């Protein structure tokens, strides 16, 4: 393959909250720096087992729901619990490597890749050595257009293009640990296009089209399957969601909560200094506003400000005359 001559990819705009870790030093969770990973007793399973037993079933939930004759929520719980039970029995209690690939948007340990659909599409064009004006190259660059089912779905568009060229018809042999290691290298080389092409080429040679489709979703941190983190947290540990809410740490959820019979104390489930936490987790009051007012104010008068949903507006008032240095557009419109 010819040596790439294009300049390194510029980091595209993204609303990924983990972008903050690139330019700012973040205070580390003190507890997270002291915990150690549980040691697995079995080898790392193949990435294809994740795709075949978790990702594809969650994506095509209706098919499995009909086969199992269960409701949607029951089917999701069955898929997640079956996978987790199998992992703990055959691999061990350290499920963090798998959760990093199943829930990539919740993993704040891995740096951002600096790749969105447009940049990733350009890289695939180079990996496949496509002419820039070829139909498949245009299909990747204009992935939102077209009359096919993949229009607007970048990973499916990649699947259509990659399936024509991959030499693997069966699942590949890459393990979960190997995929994580390569993704770490990809994240470290976010501005090195040569390294990015090298990593994606390796994936292309060792994965089939279905695995590559999910790899694209993992890189974009957009899994788009019928399951949130709660689906996997519930069969993992009863307190997994509570700990994640006050730490936002997937690593702590996986490393600390390895024993389902050991529950968190009330202190361990509280927000702490220097620990990230999820927004909007305040509890609802158990008493009415009238009960709270009578208990705290005991008949004394008090003031309360009504909170109205919507955009916040602010007005500045001056008590020393009219010196507003601005154009009064309302008056001009009236005139």
99 within domain boundaries: yes
299 within domain boundaries: no
| Helices 209-220/193-206 angle, 10° precision | 140
Residue range of the domain that includes 49: 1-11+28-284
Could you read off the pLDDT of 301-325 as tens digits, one per residue?
888 887 767 666 666 666 666 665 6
Could you read off the pLDDT of 266-292 as tens digits, one per residue?
888 888 887 788 777 777 777 777 787
Confidence of residue 12 (pLDDT cuts 50, 70, 90): very low
Which H or E run includes 62? helix 61-68
69 within domain boundaries: yes
- The answer to whether 177 and 97 are in contact (CB under 8 A) is yes
23 within domain boundaries: no
CATH code, 59: 1.10.3260.10
- How many domains in the chain? 1
Q: What radius of gyration, in Å, describes the C-alpha atoms of the chain?
A: 26
315 within domain boundaries: no
Catalytic residues: 307
Could you read off the pLDDT of 70-99 as tens digits, one per residue?
999 999 999 999 999 999 999 999 999 999
| Helices 193-206/176-188 angle, 10° precision | 160
Residue 282 confidence (pLDDT): 74
200 within domain boundaries: yes
Residue 322 confidence (pLDDT): 62
236 within domain boundaries: yes
Task: Tell me what percent of the residues of the chain surpass a pLDDT of 90.
Answer: 57
184 within domain boundaries: yes
């Amino acid at each position: 393959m010819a040596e790439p001559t294009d300049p390194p990819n510029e980091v595209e705009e993204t609303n990924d909250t983990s972008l903050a870790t690139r330019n700012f030093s973040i205070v580390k969770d003190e507890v997270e720096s002291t915990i150690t990973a549980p040691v697995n007793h079995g080898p790392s399973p193949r990435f294809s087992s994740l795709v075949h037993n978790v990702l594809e079933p969650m994506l095509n939930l209706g098919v499995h729901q009909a086969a199992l004759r269960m409701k949607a929520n029951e089917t999701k719980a069955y898929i997640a619990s079956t996978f987790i039970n199998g992992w703990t029995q055959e691999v061990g209690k350290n499920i963090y490597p798998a959760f990093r690939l199943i829930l990539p948007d919740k993993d704040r340990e891995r740096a951002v890749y600096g790749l969105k659909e447009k940049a990733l599409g350009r890289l695939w064009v180079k990996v496949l050595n496509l002419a820039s004006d070829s139909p498949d190259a245009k299909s990747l660059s204009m992935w939102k257009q077209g009359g096919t089912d993949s229009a607007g779905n970048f990973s499916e568009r990649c699947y259509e293009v990659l399936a024509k060229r991959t030499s693997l018809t069966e699942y590949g042999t890459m393990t979960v640990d190997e995929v994580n290691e390569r993704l770490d290298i990809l994240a470290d080389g976010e501005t090195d296009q040569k390294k990015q092409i090298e990593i994606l080429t390796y994936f292309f040679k060792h994965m089939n089209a279905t695995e590559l489709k999910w790899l694209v979703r993992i890189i974009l941190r957009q899994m788009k399957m019928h399951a949130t983190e709660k689906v996997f947290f519930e069969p993992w540990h009863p307190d997994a969601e509570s700990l994640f809410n006050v730490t936002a740490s997937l690593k702590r959820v996986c490393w600390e909560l390895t024993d389902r019979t050991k529950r968190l104390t009330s202190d361990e489930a509280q927000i702490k200094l220097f620990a990230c936490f999820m927004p909007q987790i305040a509890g609802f009051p158990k008493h009415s506003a009238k009960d709270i007012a009578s208990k705290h104010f005991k008949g004394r008068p008090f003031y309360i400000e009504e909170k109205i949903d919507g955009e916040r507006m602010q007005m500045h008032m001056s008590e020393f005359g009219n010196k507003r240095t601005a154009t009064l557009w309302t008056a001009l419109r009236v005139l």
